[in-house]
């Protein structure tokens, strides 16, 4: 857009430069600066090359703290095998740094630094982005009410924060499957998603070259990247859930942590005694991760290794500053199953696991539903705050009706706006293809835009000053018939211009 330009807000040191999108307005009106997730790709002065990746923005900050060591090479057996396979030369990302890890006896998480009273450069960066005091950011992280996902092996990411005292964030899911998509398409989807406002991206790939796809995404991602490690672990054992082992899963965690994944969805709350509670549901267990672990538990007649090895998982994640997204494996898959005994029993366990993670200085957010009618949404938020000690809530919608396949970006955005207003910190987008197929680039954009609307509506209802400034600027432009300003201030200027008569 001619009236939109990338600007940078300077911090207390030369290497803290926070990107904003500045909208230049006509008629003597002051410019408006908006939160920008797009990264260097929208900076006309940036010389970018997908094969080299983005500049390592945070590397000097990470090394400067003196708490990490550079490893001689990957410690994951699977990654070493992939690196040595000559057949993968054509798909492998070439410019890979040696992985970093916490020095023995050290902690490297943003939660650790916040609890120690230290405002890191990452926290100052976030404060400038949000328009809040750095000490406020540090305090919210220290109390576990917010997370700053920033793996030491993902220095390309521009720091952001997830917490109910801040702007509501949105996540976009991408990922290949066994029958569709390529590495190039997934990198393009990620870039497309962040360009339109995705604050984080989850790579849910299940097809060929999962490791290589993730490497390309991470090296070119200016936002935090999340995964569900059990998906890749399942691929390693031929898709047989009962064949999964702790050893395979542990190696997968290390593999992904050393690549730079910023948060893991881990379904550690699916306990053996909770599974029978789903028997009378209309749709049973709909979470893929939840169903994998339920099948494993029933096959082996014992608690899952995600639960029994949870402290070891915490130790791995603490060594790289990977945050937990504690997965709701028993989330409701339809309106009839919302707020049932199985869902809330698992939520109680997630609250217990939260305190264990905090003992290891690991950051935590909690995943939530799903499919919930409007009159039951508030109970979800109230219960989560109570039993999960105010850890950030991260919900998939929720969808408020099940009768609109093809329009579930709308059915879910309604619930997302409501639960965001009530306190959910991040909303996982839903595309029009939900329940129907793999989203393409247009579907990704439609999902992101729907959720940016929901998040912004929630920010307005919560009274965030920057949200109101944006609405007021567009309202004045509309009243004064400043059409170009209206287009430029729109969430999706291209569509607004196209629709104008």
- Confidence check: pLDDT of 1 > 70: no
Q: What is the pLDDT of residues 97-135, one digit of tens each?
A: 999 999 999 999 999 999 999 999 999 999 999 999 999
User: How far apart, in whole angstroms, are the C-alpha atoms of residue 296 and residue 294?
Assistant: 5
- Confidence check: pLDDT of 10 > 60: yes
- Confidence check: pLDDT of 155 > 80: yes
pLDDT at 438: 82
State the average pLDDT for the chain.
Answer: 96
For each of the domains in the chain, give its residue range(s) and CATH number, in order of start.
146-462 (3.20.20.540)
CA-based end-to-end distance of the chain: 19
Nearest Cα neighbor of 34 from 488, 420, 444, 446 is: 488
Q: Read off the DSSP letter of residue 156.
A: T
Scanning the structure block, which residue is given the tokens 């997630």?
350
User: How far apart, in whole angstroms, are the C-alpha atoms of residue 53 and residue 55?
Assistant: 7
Note whether 242 and 295 are within 8 A (CB): yes
pLDDT at 385: 98
Q: What is the pLDDT of residues 445-474, one digit of tens each?
A: 999 999 999 999 999 999 988 899 999 999
Q: Helices 408-422 and 377-387: crossing angle, nearest 10°?
A: 50
Note whether 177 and 188 are within 8 A (CB): no
Q: What is the pLDDT of residues 322-367, one digit of tens each?
A: 999 999 999 999 999 999 999 999 999 999 999 999 999 999 999 9
How do 323-326 and 263-266 pair as beta strands?
A: parallel
User: How far apart, in whole angstroms, are the C-alpha atoms of residue 136 and residue 119?
Assistant: 10
Query: Which residues fall within 8 angstroms of residue 83, CB to CB, at 6 or more apart?
Result: 74, 92
Scanning the structure block, which residue is given the tokens 């579930």?
408
Scanning the structure block, which residue is given the tokens 């219960």?
383
- Residue 356, strand partner residues: none
Q: What is the pLDDT of residues 180-201, one digit of tens each?
A: 668 888 899 999 999 999 999 9
Burial 47-56 (b: 16+ CB within 10 A, else e): eeeeeebbeb
pTM exceeds 0.95: yes
Q: What is the pLDDT of residues 201-253, one digit of tens each?
A: 999 988 889 999 999 999 999 999 999 999 999 999 999 999 999 999 999 99
Nearest Cα neighbor of 72 from 61, 83, 62, 60 is: 83
- Confidence check: pLDDT of 2 > 80: no
Q: Hey, CA dihedral for 11, 59, 175, 278, is it positive or negative?
A: negative
Confidence band of 178 (pLDDT split at 50, 70, 90): low
pLDDT at 195: 93
The per-residue DSSP string of 101-123 comes to: EEPTT----HHHHHHTT---HHH
Burial of 221 (0-12, 13-18, 19+ CB in 10 A): buried
pLDDT at 441: 86
Nearest Cα neighbor of 310 from 337, 271, 278 is: 271
């Amino acid at each position: 857009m001619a009236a939109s330009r990338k600007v940078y807000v300077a911090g207390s040191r030369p290497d803290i430069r926070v990107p904003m999108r500045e909208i230049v307005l006509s008629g003597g009106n002051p410019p408006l600066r908006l939160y920008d997730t797009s990264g260097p790709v929208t900076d006309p002065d940036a010389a970018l090359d997908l094969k080299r990746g983005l500049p390592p923005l945070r590397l000097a900050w990470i090394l400067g703290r003196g708490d990490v060591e550079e490893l001689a090479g990957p410690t994951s057996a699977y990654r070493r095998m992939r690196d040595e396979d000559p057949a993968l030369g054509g798909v492998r990302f070439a410019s890979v740094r040696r992985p970093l890890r916490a020095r023995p006896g050290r902690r490297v998480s943003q939660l650790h630094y916040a609890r120690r009273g230290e405002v890191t450069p990452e926290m100052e960066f976030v404060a400038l982005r949000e328009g809040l005091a750095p000490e406020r950011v540090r305090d919210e992280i220290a109390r576990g009410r917010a997370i700053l996902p920033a793996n030491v092996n993902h220095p390309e990411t521009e720091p952001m924060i997830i917490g109910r005292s801040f702007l509501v964030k949105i996540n976009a899911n991408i990922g290949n499957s066994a029958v569709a998509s390529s590495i190039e398409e997934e990198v393009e989807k990620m870039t497309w998603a962040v360009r339109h406002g995705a604050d984080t991206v989850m790579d849910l790939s299940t097809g060929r070259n999962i490791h290589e796809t993730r490497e390309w995404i991470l090296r070119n991602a200016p936002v935090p990247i999340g995964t569900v490690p059990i998906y890749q672990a399942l691929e390693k054992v031929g898709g047989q859930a009962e064949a999964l082992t702790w050893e395979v899963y542990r190696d997968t965690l290390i593999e992904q942590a050393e690549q730079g994944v910023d948060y893991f969805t881990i379904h550690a709350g699916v306990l053996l005694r909770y599974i029978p509670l789903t028997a009378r549901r209309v749709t049973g267990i709909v979470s893929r991760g939840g169903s994998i672990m339920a099948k494993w538990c029933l096959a082996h007649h014992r608690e899952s290794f995600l639960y029994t090895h949870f402290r070891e998982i915490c130790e791995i994640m603490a060594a790289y500053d990977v945050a937990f997204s504690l997965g709701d494996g028993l989330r409701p898959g339809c309106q009839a199953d919302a707020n049932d005994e199985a869902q809330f029993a698992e939520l109680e366990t997630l609250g217990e696991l939260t305190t264990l993670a905090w003992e290891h200085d690991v950051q935590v957010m909690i995943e939530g539903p799903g499919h919930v009618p409007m009159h039951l949404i508030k109970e979800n938020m109230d219960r989560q705050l109570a039993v999960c000690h105010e850890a950030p809530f991260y919900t998939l919608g929720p969808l408020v009706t099940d009768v609109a396949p093809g329009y579930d970006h709308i059915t879910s955005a309604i619930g997302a706006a409501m639960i965001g207003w009530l306190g959910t910190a991040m909303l996982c987008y839903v595309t029009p293809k939900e329940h129907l197929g793999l989203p393409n680039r247009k579907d990704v954009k439609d999902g992101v835009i729907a959720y940016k609307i929901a998040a912004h509506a929630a920010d307005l209802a919560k009274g965030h000053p920057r949200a109101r400034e944006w609405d007021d600027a567009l309202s004045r432009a509309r009243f004064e018939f400043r059409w170009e300003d209206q287009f430029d201030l729109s969430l999706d200027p291209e569509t607004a211009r196209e629709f104008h008569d």
